[in-house]
Amino acid sequence: YQDVLFAEMNGKAIGYARVWWILRSEGTRTYNHFVLLLPRWRGQNIRRAMLQHNERRLREIASAHPKDGPRFLEVWAGDAEVDWVSLLVKEGYKPIRYSFEMVRPNLEDIPDLPLPEGLEVRPAKPEQYRTIYKSAVEAFQDHWGAIGWRDEEFERWQEQSFFNPDLWQVAWDGNEVAGMILNFIHEKENREFNRKRGYTEIICVRRPWRKRGLARALLARSFKVLKEQGMTEAALGVDAENVSGALRLYESMGFRTVKRYATYRKPLE
């Protein structure tokens, strides 16, 4: 498998890297990658060698793709990852967009917010997954970096560790999806960091149902669902330049920014 790289020292893994690519809705192709390396091995050019390996592999992948739009190498970095950011800058990457990780530090004092009239939340059934996915894709079309509908993405989505349909809050207007929050719990991460965190992600409302308080009501319901599962905090990620005013909404619902990340890009060619 050529898209994952492991670094070893004396037979023990010290880091790994992965590559993949995305066709964005506006026609941009991003060739994404990351490199993870244990701190004690940094500063020895191992991370740089892994990054350059990723780039070579991504260029191989890109050689089979049409040059019908902008093409970039893309990677993420948190503000606190000083050594990683320094390496990216030296390798020609530039920050082009910022996002925040936000946390609601407790699941107490959850407001009682009814759904807008005519809407109801129903348990998600397997035969509805495709409709829910397509509705989310549609709702995010006006967001930066949106990904268009593709069957292979739908199949991959169902295989992800964050696919927890029992926790979803999907609002319906008859047979139409009005909005949703696809909550999930990352059990392994919680054990690693000794916390009880649930994620309120894929928060979206389709255009005909916006500006009616639906997202706020779904968040309140999501907090209750996570609390019932034994969680004590909720988290989400948000684009710093989100055009829908999401940042203000999340702050009003008790979320606070805990980390800032940047998307870095450089031209593929």
Q: Map out the domains of the chain with their CATH numbers.
A: 4-92 (3.40.630.30), 102-261 (3.40.630.30)
Nearest to 32 by CA among 269, 265, 201: 265
Mark the ranges of the chain whose per-residue pLDDT is less than 70. Answer: 1, 143-151, 243-244
**Is 234:103 a contact under the CB 8 Å cutoff?**
yes
With b meaning 16 or more CB within 10 Å and e meaning fewer, what string describes 55-78? Answer: bebbeeebeeeeeeeebbbbbbbe
Q: What is the pLDDT of residue 137?
A: 87
Q: What is the pLDDT of residue 116?
A: 97
Nearest 5°: phi and psi at 262? -125, 145
Q: What is the pLDDT of residue 250?
A: 95
Q: In the prediction, which pLDDT does 183 show? A: 97
Burial class (CB in 10 A: 0-12, 13-18, 19+), 116: middle
What global pTM score does this model have? 0.84
Strand 94-104, strand 256-267: pairing: antiparallel
